[in-house]
Homo-oligomer: A and B are copies of this chain.
């Protein structure tokens, strides 16, 4: 509860925007939003590098810049649909958003610092501090060197053409397209090149697929495919069940995957018993969601369960029901929207 009232969900009717307005993008903030004085702030690059760097925001802004629309999703999206429900931020399906991020490619900065031959990982440290698992910490996550060097990885200082809002990581955040959001560390203060794997809390304790607490588990990394629809008709305030009147209805939505472009979206009006192909819109960029639509006409009044699912070019799909895991991560089961259709 204390988490649900702090963290902001993306209202699904906002799937109608190609680029999500900043105030509608999801937010998952582990600790408090740090208040950062941009004038005094600097980014440090250190560790296994030939030359340590200390850069102001203006210096970062004067470097080569890139802008890209990127879909970000929380690794815990869908968590609240698991049973028993893992204890953390209780997302249903609304932990997603697509913004246009502007920044300087991380690869160029690493090249300038001169990564040592024995470098293995790159560690990203935020200014946000808190206690988790009984341990006081800054939020810190690492990437393997090869992942950190990928051309799409940005140090972003702008969102949708404006300086980052405080809650999205002002003055600087990492953006790792294709990966779940925990990777895109906000409020960056330090980037450290390591000669061994990082073993901090957010890497080895949190964000792991586990059945029991004492197993190591596989790390959560890229986003599994997911498709979401704009719930049609109008909502009931409390239940969010949808009301429609009999007649043609075009369902619209978006789909994405961190493993490869979305190649197919299917929809169902009978709870997933039968599926039809949706029409896919253009892929606006490799790392942003793809629109789709599906024409549906209910034959008679009654209750329907609308569903959609995506398949990516790597052959990953979405299960009808996701397998449970302790942290409630990477649940990409099909969306189900209950709709009651009445006579017009």
A interface residues (Cβ-Cβ under 8 A, vs B) = 1-6, 8-9, 11, 13-14, 16, 21-24, 29-33, 35, 80, 87-88, 90-92, 94, 129-132, 136, 165-168, 231, 234-240, 243
- Is there contact, CB below 8 Å, between A11 and B33? yes
Partner of A32, one of B11, B21, B87, B165: B11
Q: Can you sample 15 A-B contacts with CB below 8 Å? A: A1-B4, A2-B238, A2-B239, A3-B238, A5-B91, A13-B33, A16-B35, A22-B23, A24-B33, A30-B237, A129-B234, A131-B236, A131-B237, A132-B236, A132-B238
Centre residue among A6, A29, A92 by max chain B CB count within 10 A: A6
Contact partner, A240, options B2, B22, B91, B167, Cβ 8 Å: B2
- Contacts of A11 on B, CB cut-off 8 Å? 6, 29, 32-33, 167
Q: In whole angstroms, what is the CA distance A92 to B2 when docked?
A: 7
Structural contact, B4 and A5, CB atoms closer than 8 A? yes
From known contacts A23-B22, A130-B235, A235-B131, infer whether A33 and B5 are also in contact, taking CB-CB under 8 Å.
no
- How far apart sit A238 and B134, CA to CA, in the bound complex (Å)? 10
Closest to A166 in B: B21
* B residues less than 8 Å from A131 (CB atoms): 234-237, 243
B165 touches A23 (CB 8 A): yes
Select from chain B the residue with minimum beta-carbon distance to A340.
Answer: B131
Asked if A33 and B6 make an inter-chain contact with CB atoms under 8 angstroms apart, the answer reads: no
Could you say which of A13, A80, A132, A168 has the most chain B C-beta atoms within 10 Å of its C-beta? A13
User: In the complex, what residues of B have CB within 8 A of residue A136's CB?
Assistant: 234, 243
Chain B residues whose CB sits within 8 angstroms of the CB of A16 once the complex forms:
35
With A and B bound together, what is the CA distance between A94 and B32 in angstroms?
Answer: 14
Task: Verify A92–B5 contact, CB threshold 8 A.
Answer: yes
Residues of B within 8 Å of A236, CB to CB, are 130-132
**A132 neighbours in B (Cβ, 8 Å):** 236-238
A10, chain B: closest CB distance, angstroms: 9
A5 and B13 contacting across the interface, CB-CB below 8 Å: no
**Min CB distance, A96 to chain B, in Å?**
12
Determine the distance from Cα of A165 to Cα of B29 in the docked complex, in whole angstroms. Answer: 22
Q: Which of B14, B168, B237 contacts A31 (CB 8 A)?
A: B237
Cβ-defined contact, A94 with B6, below 8 A: yes
Which listed residue (B21, B88, B237) contacts A165, Cβ 8 A? B21
**Per a CB cutoff under 8 Å, which of B31, B94, B166 touches A5?**
B94
The 3 closest A-B pairs by CB, nearest first: A23-B23, A5-B9, A4-B4
Alpha-carbon distance A4/B1, docked complex (angstroms) = 8
Nearest Cβ in chain B — how far from A18, in angstroms?
A: 13
Q: Which residues of B contact A80 (CB under 8 A)?
A: 1, 5
Query: With A and B bound together, what is the CA distance between A234 and B127 in angstroms?
Result: 12
Complex formed: what's the CA distance from A5 to B131 in Å?
Answer: 23
